[in-house]
Amino acid sequence: MSVAYLLPCPCGQSLRINVSQAGGVVTCDCGASVVVPRLRELRNLPEVESIEERPSAWGAAQGVLAIGAILAALLLAAAGWLNANEPPAPPQVDTAGYLKSVSVGVEGLSPAQSYDLWLQRYQPLASLGFVDDLQPQIDLAQQAIALHRTYRNVALIAAGLALAGGIVAGLMLRRSGVVKQVNHA
Ligand SMILES: [Zn+2]
């Protein structure tokens, strides 16, 4: 960071000088020529941050970089959350276990309830077969997982882009700041 020093003029004003002017002569607004101390003595003068030139560009560059980094962190967090909270896996085709659970469920049911169960469960099974009955559920679960992973990947890519964009924009701003400073000198 560039630092400026305040060099007092006999007229009472303070002249803002920088390190590159050490050992030279500056002209005050009052017309007086003031000798600038050499570097070693310069450091004894009151210090001020040079706020007009490079630091402002630096600040903007750091700001853009910080925004990119924060955005990237948020997107990474979102991707992590998506990764940790995947939809349930598709149901397994477990014919024996399924039939057993249905049999247990049937016990203690009234004839009317058994008939309802027959209509809801066994008839589709009888007509479609067990796997075909489950297949729509499996498809839906797999689609949900695939969509979820797409969101996660998009979040990861966006995080990378945000970080890269922040770095590139920051570097460009910094470079423009350096050019501005050279023009000032
Ligand atoms: Zn003066």
Q: What is the pLDDT of residue 3?
A: 81
Q: Look at residue 10 and give its three-state secondary structure.
A: coil
CA of 141 to the centre of ligand 1 (A): 80
CA of 49 to the centre of ligand 1 (A): 21
CA of 28 to the centre of ligand 1 (A): 5
Q: Is the dihedral of CA 167, 170, 174, 180 positive or negative?
A: positive
CA angle centred on 132, ends 128 and 134, rounded to 5°: 125
CB distance 47 to 4 below 8 Å:
yes
Q: What is the pLDDT of residue 36?
A: 95
Q: How far apart are CA 19 and CA 33, in angstroms?
A: 18
CA of 33 to the centre of ligand 1 (A): 8
CA of 17 to the centre of ligand 1 (A): 13
CA of 35 to the centre of ligand 1 (A): 12
Q: What is the pLDDT of residue 185?
A: 43
CA of 126 to the centre of ligand 1 (A): 103
* Helices marked H in the chain: 39-42, 54-84, 95-106, 111-117, 123-128, 130-184
CA of 181 to the centre of ligand 1 (A): 25
CA of 14 to the centre of ligand 1 (A): 8
Other CB atoms within 10 Å distance of the CB of residue 79: 19
Q: What is the pLDDT of residue 177?
A: 62
With CA atoms as reference, report the closest residue to 78 among 144, 153, 164, 161.
Answer: 153
Low-confidence ranges of the chain (pLDDT < 50): 179-185
CA of 26 to the centre of ligand 1 (A): 10
Q: What is the pLDDT of residue 92?
A: 73
Straight-line distance from the first to the last Cα atom of the chain, in angstroms, rounded to the nearest whole number = 16
Q: Look at residue 78 and give its three-state secondary structure.
A: helix
